[in-house]
Amino acid sequence: MFPLRDNIPSSHRPVVNYAIIGLSAVIFLLEVAAGRHIQQIINVFGFTPGRFLALWQTYPDNYLALYLPLFTTMFLHGGWLHLIVNMWSLWIFGDNVEDALGHVRFLILYLAAGVAGSLLHLVIAPESWIPVVGASGAIAGVMGAYLLLFPRSQILVLLPFFFIFPVVEVPAPVFLVVWFVLQFFSGAFSVLGHRAGSGGVAFWAHVGGFAAGMLLLILLAASRVRNPFKRYE
């Protein structure tokens, strides 16, 4: 299922969401411009579990080298498709979550969920020396928060079926729970196949980000959350 749009309008301009999308696009263009040096950039600014643990054991006071990649990895992407899919998902779900939380708390949720996703990937694949890049963990956190905030929302999705591509409307909880279950079992199968740190998609970063987003929403929102859904009640 590929999401096309939801049915919840925003009442405030999602400036942080726009800024994240714009910054991610600019950084990706810089990646493209780097040409043959791109792998060096990914090695330094992507998150590598093995490198993180080695630095933590040998140079625990080197905070910049140790912790900066946990944040910079969210703004790097491995290709045009990776960037477009991530930013499109953020475009659909991020504006409503920012509308509900406000700009600052939305940014905190986004960054914290991304870090949580990387840390779960670290727990699952501690010996991996393959850099992980992408905003998927952070965006998964936004999706987890969306699930709690807008349980009655509808998502218009493209549903590929052989050579037929119907567009259908499904409840947001159905779309998001199915997406989460697919990430969870894909991650579980990668562990069973001993491939959790062998490259490809870091499914556990998605799982960790999604769960963190739900928890962070509860912690950040409390009773002060601006819930746009009240306009429909």
**Residue closest to 87 by CA, chosen among 17, 181, 168, 169:** 17
Neighbouring C-alpha atoms within 13 Å toward the C-beta of 19 = 10
**Catalytic residue (one of 24, 118, 190, 206):** 206
Is residue 206 annotated as a catalytic residue, yes or no? Answer: yes
By residue count, the chain amounts to 233
Separation of CA 226 from chain center: 22
Instruction: Return the SS3 of 131.
Output: coil
**Catalytic residue (one of 24, 136, 153, 190):** 136
Is residue 12 annotated as a catalytic residue, yes or no? Answer: no
Separation in Å, CA 219 to CA 93, 96, 163: 19, 18, 44
**Residue closest to 20 by CA, chosen among 78, 92, 94, 93:** 94
- Tell me the catalytic residues: 136, 206
